Structures are given as structure tokens and as C-alpha cells.
Structure 1
Amino acid sequence: MIPQGLVLDVGRYLAALWRACQLEAAARGDGSSARLRLRVVGSLERLRPPGTAAKEQGEEDGEEEWRVEGPGPGVRVAAAGAAEAVEGVQYDAVVVAAGAAAATIVEVAAAALPLQLCQGLTLVMAPGPTAAPAAAPSPTAPPCAPDPAAASCVGGYPGGYPAGRPSLLGQPYLAAQGPGRLVVGATKRYGWSARQALEACMRSEYAAERTRAAEAAEVDATGPGAAPAAAAVADVAVDAMADAAATEALRAAACGVWAPLSGWEVARVREGVRALPPRTSAGSLPLLGRVAPGRSWWLVGGLGSRGLVYHGLLGRLAAEAALSGSEEGLPAELTAWRGVRVGEAVFEAP
């Protein structure tokens, strides 16, 4: 328990962070702007600014180049932008911050990043109709812990998480987001590919909000990690069964930590894939630096479960490197990944 700890709603935080970027750009007064374009990128070499590539038939300005094909979990990611690029027109710098899906980009895959990919599921839970009513806390319970013998605490909501009590950090963890919402996590499955990570991202609730009204666009699914459709369907069926079993095991474990949770319902199951960095003499640190020698392509990756810890510092370092065109200002510990061979990388024990 960390009594003074805070629980962050990541979706809201990222939305606010993006809004801050837009406001900061506008405040410069020099015509700068921050624009979000949703697009699957298969190659940095072919990546071009809007309006500088010959349009394919049916492509219009302003279209969101983002699409998920197929119902349910068996989606396939489609990438737009297959048009030929205009010679000599390109971005001044590109920073790849694609997490576990980074190696779906050809040039990043060629860099052979020493990463271990781990898929995880979390449960968003809410009080159900069978949730127990409010009850006084047990006198034997620690003053800063949820009482395992009571469904709620004095002053709390019937059937809700005890008001004023901290979240629990462990395996499983219980992260309270108000009295009526509890995030429980997390399962772990290793050995995922970058393509699977991208598909998991496209299945997320955040992607669904963006794609619901998007126009169809053709997709290049032939990049690194792509699999034949028949194999993909079979893999989805196996994954669904494994996820269902893992979800039930996670819920049972959480109920063992806080018994009243047995009366709650699973409102949503969230899926994510983390990119875990290799363990070195300096610890398990993120990856930072150029994607390829002599190119203005930069990488920020391998944050694992420490994105909130590192993202501000890494963002500043990456921006300074991209603007200066040099790695001289980057800590050597963050560029040491180049000396780690994929087959020889050592990771934290699963």
C-alpha cells in the first residue's frame, strides 16, 4: 500500500497532454501547429508530409487514414499511404514512439531492437446488482487498507469501493477510480510479435472511437510480422480462449484480495502490449537514439511499465537530439542497446 499514492486515468491524461501540445504550439505565434493524423506507417523512407504525395484514386484531403477490417477480435490492420512520394520532400525529423508495435516499421525492424513483448489484460469493474450493501469496517482492519470483511466503509457508497481508502499495488493490483470503478490487473503473456501488438492497439476502445466513422482505405499488411489470413483466424481463436481463462483467473485472484469484489461486474476488458527493455549493468532502461546512421529518424522505446516515470525526460531528450541532429546529448546508458544482440539479451524474469 502507498497511502499517498495517486491513480492516473491514462486516457484523460493523454488527451490533456495532447491538448497542451496544441496550445503550446499555437502560443508560439509563428504559425506552428500540432496536428494528429491517424495512419499506419510501414516505412519511414516513404513517409511524407500531407499534400506532398501523389494521391491514389478516391483519396481526399482531410480523410483519416485509419481503418480496422473485420468484426470482433479478428481484425486486420490496414495502412494507407501507398502512393508514390514526391522526390526531395520529407519531414525534417521523425521520432518513432510506437511502443511494442515499433518493429512493424521496416527500418525499425532492420535495427533489430532487443525487446521482449508482453501482452496484458486488465479488468474495469463496477458494482453489480448483487454487490453487498454498505457496512462498518472491521475493527481489525488496518486504518489505511480496504476492509476485506466489508463491502464498503462508513461514508462510502453502497457496494462501492471504500471512500478515502488507497488503491492496492501488487499482483493483482486494484486501482480505484472513484467509488464505482475499479481497475484490476494484470495478466502477462510473453512472446508476442510487433504485428500482434499493433493489432491489439487497433482493437482498443480508443482506436474504436476514431475508426467508427472513418472511410475505408486499402492497407499494406505485408510488412514485418504479417501472417496469412487463415493462420490469423486460427491464432485469434486460440488467443481468445487463453484470454478468457486468464481473465477469470485474474478476477478470482482480485476477489481473494478484496472479497466484496465478487459482487461486482466486469464492465470492460482492456488489452495492451508492453515492450520490455533488456537488462544491462545499468538496469532495465528504455531505448533512445537514431534508428539508422545518418538519417533523421529517432527512436524512443522499451519503456515497459515505466512510461509515466520516463516519458517527460525521454520526450525532452528526443526532441533535443532531433533538433540538433546529434546523439551527443543522450546519456550513454540509453543508447547502450545497440551493443545488445537480440539472441543474447537478458530480460527481467517473467
Structure 2
Amino acid sequence: MLMASIATTPASPPAPAPSNPGVPSSVRLHSPRRFAVLGAGFAGVSVAWHLLQHTSSSGPVSVDLFDEAGIGGGASGVSGGLLHPYTPKGKLLWKGSEGWQAALSLLAAAEEAAALHRRDSKPIAWRRGILRPLVAEKHVKNARKLGGGDGLGTGLAGIQCLERPQAHAMVPGLELPENGLGLYIPGGINLHPRSYLEALWLACEDFAHNAGSGTHAALVRQRVSSLAGISREGYEAVIVCAGSKAVLLPELAGKLPLSMCRGVVAHLELPSEYDGYDSQAPNLLTHTWLAIQGAREMVLGATKDWNSEAECGDVSAEEGILVQDELLQRAAQFYPLIKQWEVKSLRAGVRAMPPRTPLGSLPLAGCVNKLVQPLQSETQWWMIGGLGSRGLIYHGWLGERVAAAVTAQDASLIPHELNQFSAVLAQV
């Protein structure tokens, strides 16, 4: 793989960063700043939202969001939707507090838009907490050191260490060995990923509509096969948020240190003859996860197929049988009642996974002008990639940081830890 670094200084001189004191009528006198965002998953919709927030009296903002599959049509829409800011060991993720707060802000905007536009009453988020069953002795020992308490002070109660009887009482049907424990995240949230993203895009459209003439948000259901093609459209900046499909762009092929991981998830329903999943019981997260959506629906996942092709999202009948067996056997180890549930459908998605760093697996973000040369264009080129399994916790905060950097044309607004991946490759 070709080592590459993300440039920290765009080619053209910085423009002043617009503020957002409101959108007075004088905005109609200015031409909009035009941006293109490639990919309508967690990163892309977040970037679109935050770019629109830079509409001001000095210039409206126009955002075209490109995705041939539509909002949440890729790996983001297939994910389990479990939102929390902790590592598997119970420690706070790098920028986990900031990510949590930013994700809550976007969720609030999405829920407000959903309440205005949707006729059905089905929620896009369930606030029932997350329980991580622990079986391995080393994990149990680490958990006992955590104790409990409020680890964040940001509105999310910290992890609580539950003994086996407490965990069993919290989740009827849960099975743990004699020395097992449960790590409980009371503030953990489960989103319906695609419904959430569709609602957040509705919020983008509402914002653009209310901002006045010139501010614009449009979904373009079109495949972008190369950056050279879109460079002729005259955008001030293009932000690549295409996930695993970013490596298919010829200008970026072979230049990004990303590994592809294909995962299959199962959508399950509970037949009426069985009691529903307790309304107070949390989601379950271990080597597999149960994302509970009401009393009789859940998403179970996920398999892991590393170094997969970037677009192999179909699940064949033969693969489906193997996947069902694998997922159900995993879940039955700690939740035997999974045998009562029926698999209704299987979906696959391919995630782009970043390299590991001393701070963990961090996404990639920054200005990529140097990577896409020799494109002859005044357009600025940016990207977010490698959110991997942590797209939900990072998408709001990272979308805000990248949007601020793009509008100010100042890559230093993005934490340097996210654009130093060439150094990581050099150590491998």
C-alpha cells in the first residue's frame, strides 16, 4: 500500500470563517458557497448539517449530498445503532466526551425533524441503556477495578459494575457464569440508523428552507466514479465521506490505509406467543450485540469478514444459513431466549477500518489536496474516512470539526491525530 499523508495546509489562501448570528434578509444579496459531500452515511449527513450551520449574512451555503443508494443506504444504515462513548475495557474513548455531546445534539435535531414530518409514531431512538456481559476472567478482573460512579460529568452516567444476580434481574433470560459480571451503561442509546439519518437529512432541508434564498440542501442520487468528474462542477470544496467506496475513487485508490470489513446483521422478530423483551431491559453488547427496538424487534450482529471487496453487500441464501447459525449461536451463549426469535431478514455492509494508533483506532480526516493531484481545479479536497465501528460516537463531533475547517479553509481546526496516519504506516 502506498503511504500517504494528509496535507495540513490547503493550496489556496484561507478565507474568513463565517459566523452564524442568524440569517437576515441581506443573505439574498450574496452568491452561495457551494459544497459537495460524497456519501450519505453518518459522516456525510453530519458534515452536510454542519456546513449549513455556517450560513450567515456574509454568504448562504449550498450543499449537494451525493449518494446513489440514498440516505443511509450503505454500511451506516446497516449498523446496530448502539451509541456510547466507552472502549470494551470500560474506559472513555479518545474524544469520547465531545463525541457523546455532539451525537446527542444531532439526535435532538433529528428527533425534532421527525416529529414535524413523520406520521408514524415509531421512535428513531430507544433510551434503555446498554449492558456488556463479561465472561473472560481477565475482563472480570478489569471490571472489578472500575467500580461504578459518574465517569463523564456530561449527562451520561458512568459505567456500573453489576454482579451476576443484579445483571440477571435487569435482563430476564440473561445467563452468566458464577464469576460473570455485567458492565452497565445506563445512558447508552440505541438508534434506528437509517431512520435517524433520514430524519437528520430532513433537518438539513428544513434549515435550508428556513434560512432564505441562496441556502440550499439537495440529495443527488448519483454515483461519483471519480473526483475528476465532479471537479468540473465548480464547487468550492468537495468532502469525501464515502466509507469503503472511497478506495474506489481512482484519485485515492491505493493511498488510504484502510482495511475493509464486511459484516452481516440479522433482523429478528419475536412471535406473539412469547412474552416481549422487557421494556426496562437494556441492549446487550459483547462479542455479538442485541440492539432492541421495542418489545418484539431487534437487530443482531455482526459477522466480520476482513479484507472484503468494497461493494459485496448481497447476502446469498447459502451464506444466510451460515450467518444465522453463527449469530444465533453466539447470542445463545449469554441470552438463550434468542431461540424464541425468528430471523426475518439479513443485511450486509462493508466498513472501512482505520489502522490502530497508541490512542486506539482513530478515523482519518483532513485536507487531501496533495493526494488528488494533479487535478487541475480550484476546488479544495477533504475527506473523512475509517470511522469503522465507531461512526456513531465520532460522526457529530468530527462532522463539526471538518465543516469548520472546510469553511475557514484551515486544516489546523481538525485534531492533528487524525491526519498523521502516514507515521502510523511507517511503524508497521
Q: TM-score range by the shorter chain?
A: 0.5 to 0.7
Structure 2 matches for 1:295-306, cutoff 5 A?
296-306=380-390
- Aligned equivalent of 1:312: 396
Larger relative contact order, structure 1 or 2 (CA cutoff 8 Å, min sep 6): 2
Instruction: Please point out which of 100, 103, 120 is paired with 2:263.
Output: 120
- Aligned equivalent of 2:335: 258
Distance 1:124 1:172 in 2: 14
Distance 1:108 1:314 in 2: 21
1:7 aligns with 2:190: yes
- Conserved 8 A contact 2:271-2:296: no
AA in 1 matched with 2:401: L
- Conserved 8 A contact 2:320-2:346: no
- Conserved 8 A contact 1:114-1:340: no
AA in 2 matched with 1:267: K
TM-score normalized by structure 1? 0.63
- Aligned equivalent of 1:47: 230
Structure 2 matches for 1:1-350, cutoff 5 A?
1=131, 2=184, 3-47=186-230, 89-109=233-253, 112-128=255-271, 131-132=273-274, 158=275, 160-194=276-310, 196=311, 199-200=312-313, 241-293=318-370, 296-341=380-425
Question: Cα distance, 1:180 vs. partner?
Answer: 0.9
Deviations 1:80-102 (A, max 9, x none): xxxxx6xxx42111101011111
Distance 1:115 1:328 in 2: 23
TM-score normalized by structure 2? 0.52
Distance 2:187 2:211 in 1: 37
Distance 1:170 1:324 in 2: 41
Secondary structure of the residue aligned to 2:267 is: strand
- Conserved 8 A contact 1:124-1:268: yes
Question: Cα distance, 1:117 vs. partner?
Answer: 1.1
Deviations 1:192-220 (A, max 9, x none): 133x2xx52xx5xxxxxxxxxxxxxxxxx
Aligned residues: 238
- Conserved 8 A contact 1:121-1:247: no
Question: Cα distance, 1:345 vs. partner?
Answer: 7.1
Distance 1:167 1:284 in 2: 24
Question: Cα distance, 1:280 vs. partner?
Answer: 1.7
Question: Cα distance, 1:179 vs. partner?
Answer: 0.5
Would the alpha carbon gap of residues 37 and 31 (structure 1) be closer, same or farther in structure 2, given more than 3 Å must change? same
Distance 1:14 1:314 in 2: 16
- Conserved 8 A contact 2:269-2:342: yes
